[in-house]
Amino acid sequence: MRTVEELIELANTELGTALRPADAAVELAQLDGWDSVHLLRLVALLETALGRRVPVDRMLEARTLREIWAVAVHP
Amino acid sequence: MAEHRPESPADLLRALHERGGTAAAHPELPRLLARAGADDLAAAGRLLAGLDPDEVLRHHPGTPTVRIAVTGRGTVTEAVPPLAAELARHGLLPRFHLSGSGTYVGDLSDPHSALYAHRPEVTLCLLDPWTVWDAVPVPWQPLDVSVAAERQLRLLSQLAEAHAAHAPAGAVLVLNTVPLLRRHTHQLTSHAHRAELGGLWRQFTADLLFLARPSAGLAVLDLEPVTSAGARADDPRLGAYADAHCAGPLLAGYAREAAHLVRGLRGAAKKCLVLDLDGTLWDGVLAEDGPRGVSAAGSLRGAAFGAFQRTVKQLASQGVLLAVCSKNDPGPVARALACHPEFPLGAGDFQTVVADWGSKAEGVRTIAARLGIAPESVVFADDLRFEQESVAAGVPGAAVLPLDGEPALHPERLLADGWFDTPDLTDEDRRRPARYAERAARDRLRTKAVDHHAFLAGLGVRVEVGPAQDHETARVSQLSLRTNRFNLTGARLSTEEVRRYAAAPGGLVLAVRVADRFGDDGVAGAALARTGEGALHLDALLLSCRVLGRGVEEAVLGGLLRAARGTGHTAVHTCWRPTRANAALRGLLETHGFRPRTAPEAGGGATGYTHPLGHIGDLPGHVELRLRLPHRDGETEVSACAPSRN
């Protein structure tokens, strides 16, 4: 997982979202089709993809997809 | 990214989703997900959780929908993906209403809650592993937990009453048992306290389970079998940070059980289990090993099949109809089902048997038609993938078990999908197999009256009885050791004893060979007799069960009596010694004109019988018999190919 675009692709494939790369910086609350439950599911998906634990508390506090990606990849 | 098999169900579903075709493909989901493993189901659930039921109904207006409310002690959103996946496996389209975190008391007690506005058919109140513990003060003793648990139980009981009052008629509230976590038990450092906590917790669990009255609108799912099968119960991090305490595997197991319950509540339980024989019910290949060569006991592998048979028998005791669908000739199948009293399942346990060389899809449809049930209410069990696919493709809606070459896994695969689960068991359910059996017995009788004689006449049965050749003595010994049903005198002889019997003065070992137009059974019986004081002493009479019911027994016994008279004997003496299965032979002796000569020996011993050789009944007309009896002056032959006139 080298880029936030890969995170977006993961969400689209596994969660059935229709996010675009441009959505990386959009506030999650403003993001069309994004639901807070997606974040819980993304935790497990990211850990499987990365093969290691991610800091769940900081991920849950992230406000954009880019922040989620940053916290997950560079904890 | 996780590695995926190229054609995994999840990949197919992802491809469908990308093309926007999931809703249109909804009727395909049961087949697509039938064999999906845990990862595939989790992935499928994440995609299906977002599926709009109205969109599915636009494509398929007839899709069965179920209105489900989900509430609970903690965050319940993560229960939705596994529920969506499990319900899709059964072709059910859920219309969910979710409550926020921890609002279950208000949801269920307030008649005007959004939960009741949803008009749920099923309300799932998910009790996560934090249930009770959120009301336990620190520090605590086991008794504090018990007090909190009792309070919880009273609350749940009141909420169940409220649900019964406010939910639509017929709606069911579903509670569950609460897994006890190590992080709780091991906060007690003394083993004595830990044991006390364990006991008190099980009391709470038992009280909760005893609340269940599914027919009155309250079901309780027991999650202990889910956790004991290896599902982790809690998720410490999502629990701590998102109040989502249930781990994914627990929710997957919960969803599977809940979906079975929903299916059962809708009356969609399956009715009939159709079973293959070779590799499914027994070890061995009937066509190669013969009816006696197949096993469900006696060897490690055989015993695994026996365990599967006992599981099947247990289901049958609760109203599941059983049928056989086997690619074999009907004769050997009937003989194999009849000649293994050591198998848990016998011929009488099956409502109907299809044994032919047609497709199994056709066989399943034939069985359904005979039983008067819909083909989709059948569960099909076969160890061969080819047959599984044939039925899955040819009988839409029928369930197909994914059995394989490992019989020790048959039971859990049979039970994995709760195909026969019902909310309650009725007397009618328990009586169902008996009713079908009565019906089948009548059908058989009718068939028998009309054409059994024609059937026998058309068999072309040939029986040849004559002195056993030396190489046949081992077979005669084997027959005496293995035969129980038709072993008149209970004789058990080694090869050497058979040889000595034949070599003694006046001793005779006769081999019985049987054939009909379907095949040659070879040496399928034997008679051991000796001459003494003008009478013939019949010391053993054996017939393999695979040749019984074709008139062979009557032909052999009648032929021996005629031959004895023809060689100048004044009587035939024999005895009946009970084995575990030869009770019917006493009747056979008496219908052939034998009379008891001695009272039964004490302790289940032998009863002596004598035939005075005055009147001897007719030989069965459909059997072509040739019986040679050697004696001092040569050999007497009795033969018959038409009704005897003696």
Number of structural domains (chain B) is: 4
Q: What is the pLDDT of residues A4-62, one digit of tens each?
A: 999 999 999 999 899 999 999 999 989 988 888 899 999 999 999 999 999 999 999 99
Confidence (pLDDT) at B452: 60
Distance CA B370, CA B536 (A): 50
Q: What is the value of ipTM here, to two decimals?
A: 0.93
Indicate whether B51 belongs to any domain: yes
Q: Which of B44, B63, B82 is the last residue of a domain?
A: B63
Does A44 lie at the interface with B, CB-CB under 8 angstroms? yes
CA distance B187 to B474: 70
Domain assignment of residue B362, yes or no: yes
Instruction: Find the domain containing B472 and state its range.
Output: 460-640
Q: Do B503 and B422 fall within a single domain?
A: no
- Interface check for B242 against chain A (CB to CB < 8 A): the answer is yes
What is the Cα–Cα distance from B459 to B455, expressed in whole angstroms?
A: 6
Residue B453 within a domain: no
* B78 plus B165 within the same structural domain: yes
In a domain, B88, yes or no: yes
Same domain, B379 and B416: yes
Domain final position from B410, B442, B474: B442
Chain A residue with minimum CA distance to B247: A44
Query: Does residue B452 sit within a domain?
Result: no
Alpha-carbon span B62 to B421, nearest angstrom: 24
The alpha-carbon gap from B6 to the nearest alpha carbon of chain A, in Å, equals: 15
CATH of the domain at B322: 3.40.50.1000
Cβ-Cβ contacts under 8 Å between A and B: the total is 41
Q: Which of A16, A48, A56 sits opposite B238 (nearest CB)?
A: A56
Predicted TM-score (pTM) of this structure:
0.71
Is the omega angle on the peptide bond into residue B423 within 30 degrees of 0, that is, cis?
Answer: no
Q: Which of B63, B82, B100 is the last residue of a domain?
A: B63
Asked whether B641 and B624 are in contact (CB, 8 A), the reply is yes
Q: How far apart are CA B605 and CA B623, in angstroms?
A: 33
Nearest in space to B235 (alpha carbons), one of B74, B71, B70, B50? B74
pLDDT score recorded for residue B208: 97
For residue B537, the domain's CATH number is 3.40.630.30
Residues A49, B77: C-beta atoms closer than 8 Å: no
| Distance from C-alpha of B23 to C-alpha of B58, rounded to nearest angstrom | 9
Same domain, B138 and B108: yes
Would you state the pLDDT for residue B645? 35
Q: Which two tokens stand for residue B506?
A: 């006046």
Q: What angle do CA A58, A59, A64 make, to 5 degrees?
A: 115
| CATH code assigned at B154 | 3.40.50.1110
Q: How far apart are CA B35 and CA B402, in angstroms?
A: 7
How far A73 CA sits from the closest chain B CA (Å)?
14
Do B48 and B103 belong to one domain?
no
Q: Could you tell me if B55 and B68 lie in one domain?
A: no
Kindly state whether B78 is in contact with chain A, defined as any CB-CB distance less than 8 angstroms: yes
Q: Within chain B, which residues score under 70 in pLDDT?
A: 1-6, 425-455, 482, 518, 545-546, 580-581, 603-604, 642-646
Q: Assess if residue B482 is contained within a domain.
A: yes
Same-domain pairing of B149 and B230: yes
pLDDT score of B444: 58
Judgement on whether residues B530 and B545 belong to the same structural domain of the protein: yes
Whether chain A has a CB inside 8 Å of the CB on B138: the answer is: no
Residue B28 to residue B397: CA distance in whole angstroms: 11
Domains in chain A, ordered, with CATH? 4-73 (1.10.1200)
- Cα distances from B591 to residues B95, B352, B396, B522, B636, in angstroms, run 70, 31, 52, 27, 25
Write down the pLDDT at residue B436.
Answer: 64
User: Could you give the CA distance from residue B67 to residue B365 in angstroms, rounded to a whole number?
Assistant: 33
**The dihedral sign for the CA sequence B304, B306, B311, B316:** positive
Residue B307 shares a structural domain with residue B428: yes
Say which DSSP state B642 is in. S
B78·A41 Cβ contact <8 A: yes
Give the pLDDT of residue B6: 55
| Burial status of residue A31 (CB atoms within 10 A of its CB: 0-12, 13-18, 19 or more) | middle
Amino acid making up residue B299: S
B454 falls within a domain: no
CB contact under 8 A, A60 and B248: no
Q: Are residues B531 and B566 in the same domain?
A: yes
* Domain match, B432 and B531 both: no
> Do B419 and B278 lie in a common domain?
yes
B449 within domain boundaries: no
